[in-house]
Amino acid sequence: MPIKTTKKVTNKKVVKEETKPAVEAKKEEVKPAEVKKAPAKKATTKKAAKPAVEVKKEEVKPAETKKAPAKKATTKKAAKPAVEAKKEEVKPAETKKAPAKKATKSAVKVKKEEVKPAEKKKATAKKTTKKATTKKTTTKKVTIKKMTKEEQYAKLSLDTCLDLAKAMSMNVTRDSIIQQLILNPDVKSVSKDLVNKYQLTGKFNFEEDGYDEGLVEVLVSKVYETADIKPQKAEDLQADVDHALNYKFTDVVADGEEYKAQFDTMRKVLMIAQHKDIHDSKKLDEEIGIDVEKFVEEFMDLAYSVLKTWKYEDVDYYEHFIYAVLSQLEDLHDTYRNRIMMDVADLYILHGDYGLGDADYGYILRENQIKDYIYYRYASIYEGVDKDKAKQIANQALQFVDDRFTYYPNIIAVLEG
């Protein structure tokens, strides 16, 4: 009996001394590749199996549980703790795969093989995510490339374009642009004039500000498309021109309405000449079947009469418009340039802008050798404004005019009046 006790004690010491290094090895070195190298000891007693189970509970993670080497369980009681440890740590999907009472090496191999596909799926998922992200980035880049500046401008409404024009410090409205297009129905030309007027070239950057000087042409184009400023057919103008040539001055109100109608008709005549690039009134006569020169004369007479009682701004607008007509029809410009300049100068003086009126008359007097009629017009317009200045102008005229000139008596009448 004493001899048996000595052997048991010896065995216990061996188990304790050899088991601890194995546990420590698991803590520090348990990796998928090193599991095969760890020596698997047979459990000789029930007590020797418990330390191995406790290590699993405390230190082995769910992912490592699959990879840990399974020891042969000699008894049913030794197997139960191992099963319980797995129940606590293995996910529901993995519980079904847990081995039965006896864990064999083949079971361990199966688990190792099952771990690999799972890892591959995760890796594949990561790659897929990267690809998806790359695709999204590519899509955004394509969108930016497709949406050019011109396309973005084209999508803007007229109101938005006007708001952006204000942001660019442009003092324009739809009506003011229409007026410019009436004088010159060329979108590019009007746009260029506005860019130069407000000094917009290089002032704004589309990438930084969201607009640049290119927006001006888009704005003018949208106004042109929405306004009634298209050239009219020639046959539709003939009746309007015939009515204008037969009109008789009646009163201020009726004359004002007629002026508006004739202005609109003259605008259409101008647009046809510009559209067909006609610069001679006779050629335009043949094109639209009207006497253009007579109509221009009638229109200037009516405007001179009506605008005396209208606003200063109306005079300014008329000046720009009638000069556009005469600039287009060059033969009429040579014939009527002095007359229209004196008409406009008179209207400015009557509206109190003496400086501009005097400057216009001064220019005409310098440019013409025969000055009697010009002096008479200049002096007579001041008779109803400033008689002393009228006499002063008439006295200046005597330096260049004597009884040989046609309007000498008229100048003397102003001087003595």
Please give the residue that has the higher pLDDT: either 123 or 391: 391
Q: What would the mean pLDDT of 352-362 be, rounded to a whole number? A: 96
Q: Is the pLDDT of residue 353 over 90?
A: yes
Token representation of residue 153: 């401008």
The closest alpha carbon to 316, from 328, 303, 326, belongs to 303
Token representation of residue 212: 């640049």
Query: Can you tell me the distance from the alpha carbon of 231 to that of 218, in angstroms, rounded to the nearest whole number?
Result: 21
pLDDT on residue 226: 85
Q: What would the mean pLDDT of 298-322 be, rounded to a whole number? A: 95
- Apex CA 399: angle with CA 397 and CA 401, to 5°? 60
Model-level pTM? 0.54
Q: What is the CB neighbour count within 10 angstroms for residue 234?
A: 16
What DSSP assignment string belongs to 191-249?
HHHHHHHTT-TTT--HHHHS--THHHHHHHHHHHHHSS-SPPPHHHHHHHHHHHHT---
Confidence class for position 230, pLDDT limits 50, 70, 90: low
Q: What is the CB neighbour count within 10 angstroms for residue 336?
A: 19
Query: Can you tell me the distance from the alpha carbon of 58 to that of 110, in angstroms, rounded to the nearest whole number?
Result: 24
Q: Is the pLDDT of residue 282 over 60?
A: yes
> In which region does residue 43 sit, left (phi positive, over 0), alpha (psi from -120 to 50) or beta (all else)?
beta
Amino acid identity, residue 327?
S
pLDDT on residue 338: 94
Q: Is the pLDDT of residue 47 over 50?
A: no
Q: What is the CB neighbour count within 10 angstroms for residue 310?
A: 17
Query: Can you tell me the distance from the alpha carbon of 337 to that of 344, in angstroms, rounded to the nearest whole number?
Result: 11
pLDDT on residue 27: 42
Kindly provide the b/e burial profile for residues 45-73, where b requires at least 16 CB atoms within 10 angstroms of the residue's own CB: eeebbeebbebbeeebeeebbbbbbebeb
Q: Is the pLDDT of residue 404 over 70?
A: yes
Question: Contact at 8 Å (CB) between 69 and 40?
Answer: yes
Which spans in 90-231 are helix H?
92-95, 105-146, 149-154, 158-167, 174-183, 187-197, 206-209, 214-226
Question: Contact at 8 Å (CB) between 181 and 229?
Answer: yes
CA dist list (Å): 323 to 151, 258, 272, 327, 386: 37, 20, 16, 6, 29
Question: Contact at 8 Å (CB) between 368 and 338?
Answer: yes
Query: Can you tell me the distance from the alpha carbon of 347 to that of 352, in angstroms, rounded to the nearest whole number?
Result: 9
| Torsion angle (degrees, nearest 10) of CA 139, 144, 150, 154 | 60
Confidence class for position 102, pLDDT limits 50, 70, 90: very low
Query: Can you tell me the distance from the alpha carbon of 261 to that of 253, in angstroms, rounded to the nearest whole number?
Result: 13
**DSSP assigned state of 72:** P
Q: What would the mean pLDDT of 32-48 be, rounded to a whole number? A: 41
SS3 of 46, please?
Answer: helix
Q: Taking the domains of the chain in order of start, what are their residue ranges?
A: 2-97, 119-144, 151-226, 234-368
Highest mean pLDDT among 137-141, 243-247, 299-303: 299-303
Q: What would the mean pLDDT of 305-316 be, rounded to a whole number? A: 96
pLDDT tens profile 58-98: 443 444 444 444 444 343 443 344 334 344 443 444 444 44
The overall average pLDDT reported for the chain is 74
Query: Can you tell me the distance from the alpha carbon of 184 to that of 188, in angstroms, rounded to the nearest whole number?
Result: 10
- CATH 1.25.40 is right for the domain spanning 234-368: yes
Q: Is the pLDDT of residue 402 over 90?
A: yes
Which helix (H) or strand (E) element contains residue 62? helix 62-65
Longest dimension (CA), the chain: 172
